[in-house]
Structure 1
Amino acid sequence: MERNESLTKPKAMIFDMDGTLFQTETLLLPAYHKLFDILREEGLHKGETPKEELMLGCLGMLLEDIWKIVLPDGSPEAHRRADELLLQLELEGLKEPDAVLYPGVEETLQELKRRGVRLFVASNGLEHYVKGIADARNIMPLFEELYSAGQHGTASKVDLVALLLKNHGIERAWMVGDRSSDVEAGKKNGQTVIGCQYAGFGNDQELKGSDAIITSFPELLNLYENAVE
């Protein structure tokens, strides 16, 4: 890869979790189908399970917004129960070996940390979910801190990243993620955005505005090596 004069080496990198570090569908889809089986058993949902693509297309959103799309006719009780079940079923699913990180994630993070880059997570997910993935897949020690909308009660990823930057005194960071919410969070906070184009959950315009695009996670190290000081 050629030296990229448009990128400056960051002091920190902030990562989205789903679709960036973690192969979400390996955990989400089994839990998703079990969730709707239980909702039907409990009388909180009638009919078929909504298409998987509908749920996958909502990744990166806050849970309350996800259920408005996936369960638009569901009652507030059904939405609350879906929240509870999804977290419970996903935490159980993390015990299974099939729920995995993307190839090269652990090794790339280890190398970035070795080079002195401060590593963080900023996710719109629930606190126990985000930390549960990092813990179960043994990458928790690589991060300085993991921020989640569930923990901090932020209304958007823009607010969550702003809080992270302020709390840790970070002025120059790369926001690394796969959704438009990641691009927005980076740009509105004056940071460089690296778009991840390997999960396939979004549309063609999802990463518009990114400063660079990677098609596999280890490419991030190449970008870092070729960025200017």
Structure 2
Amino acid sequence: MTENYQPEAVIFDLDGTLFRAETILVPAYHRTFEQLRKEGLYTGDTPPEEKILGGLGMLLEQIWKRVMPDASALVYSRANELLLHYQLEELKQGTGKLYAGVETGINILYEQGYQLFVASNGLENYVKEVIRYSGLAPFFKALYSAGEFQTKSKVDLVRLLMETYSIRSAWMVGDRSSDVEAGKANGLYVVGCNYSGFGQEEELDGADLIISSFDCLVNEIMKTSNR
């Protein structure tokens, strides 16, 4: 179902949709490579930031293959640990930022009675801590991550979420092709976010609606409501 129907739930991607991931990712990324070099697990210069920023929305193992294609599984595992550690440190220091309109918009949707969820390809602790430190935790019914549920694709993650909460109608909101794929495969109305600047324009091909700000999303959802 892809018509512009009134949803009972809204399922959000996290990075590039709600949260400006680069605000904590970039400093954590450089700190990660500094530590990898100290531990003798990596030599040479830190790969360009664009390598990891361009991989946002992918599973972490896919991201590291983009960044360090010749590294071992051991290095990938250690890089995961370090990156998460440093990102959480950045969060605690108040470095992380939401996109404009997210805090107000999420509150409006919650007050209107919509069930709100996050479905992310990130690690469990990352997803939960970003939402907690951003002050959004009270508004979300559940936070689903590939790290927690060990899903191999966002299609599977969203399907699991919908089955668990018996969701019949929802909008899928995200900035990457994996979000479009997950929404379409699960029969959802798909909203593509093009304000992060990290994905390619064609990644949102197939979305039912493309928005340039979070405020646009809230306005579109409210149009479907007769409340």
Question: TM-score normalized by structure 1?
Answer: 0.96
Residue 219 (structure 1) shift? 1.0
Q: Which residue of 1 aligns with 2:170?
A: 173
State the shift of 1:31 in Å.
0.1
**Number of the residue aligned with 2:17:** 20
Aligned residue in 1 for 2:7 = 10
Deviations 1:149-186 (A, max 9, x none): 00101000000000000000001000000000000000
Matched with 1:79 is 76
Where does residue 212 of structure 2 map in the other structure? 215
Large movers: runs of 4+ above 6 Å:
none
Q: How many residue pairs end up in the alignment? A: 225
Query: What RMSD over aligned residues (CA atoms) do the two structures have, in Å?
Result: 1.2
The 1:6/1:191 distance shift into structure 2, 3 A limit, reads closer
Which of 113, 123, 126 is equivalent to 1:126? 123
The 3-state SS of whatever aligns with 1:155 is: coil
Among residues 57, 61, 84, which one is paired with 2:58 in the alignment?
61
- Distance in 2 between residues matched to 1:74 and 1:212, nearest whole Å: 39
Cα deviation, 1:30-79, whole Å, max 9, x if unaligned, reads 00000001111111111111111111010111111111111111122111
CA contact (8 A) 1:6 1:227 kept: no
Question: Which of 218-227 and 175-184 deviates more?
Answer: 218-227
Structure 1 portions without partners, runs of 5+: none
Q: Is the 8 A contact 2:13 2:173 kept in 1?
A: yes
Q: Give the match for residue 164 of structure 1.
A: 161
Aligned residue among 41, 46, 58 for 2:43: 46
Query: How far is the alpha carbon of 1:103 from its aligned partner?
Result: 1.0
Provide the C-alpha distance between the structure 2 equivalents of 1:162 and 1:6, rounded to a whole number of angstroms: 19
> Which residue is equivalent to 2:101?
104
> Which AA in structure 1 matches 2:172?
M
2:191 aligned residue: 194
Deviation at 1:95, TM superposition (A): 1.2
Q: For the Cα contact (< 8 Å) 1:63–1:83, is it kept in 2?
A: yes
Structure 2, unaligned stretches of length 5 or more?
Answer: none
Query: Which residue of structure 2 aligns with residue 91 of structure 1?
Result: 88
Counterpart among 29, 34, 39 of residue 32 in structure 1: 29
Is it true that 1:114 corresponds to 2:111 in the alignment?
yes
1:204: how far off?
A: 1.5
Name the aligned partner's letter for residue 91 of structure 2.
Answer: L
AA of the residue aligned to 1:23? R
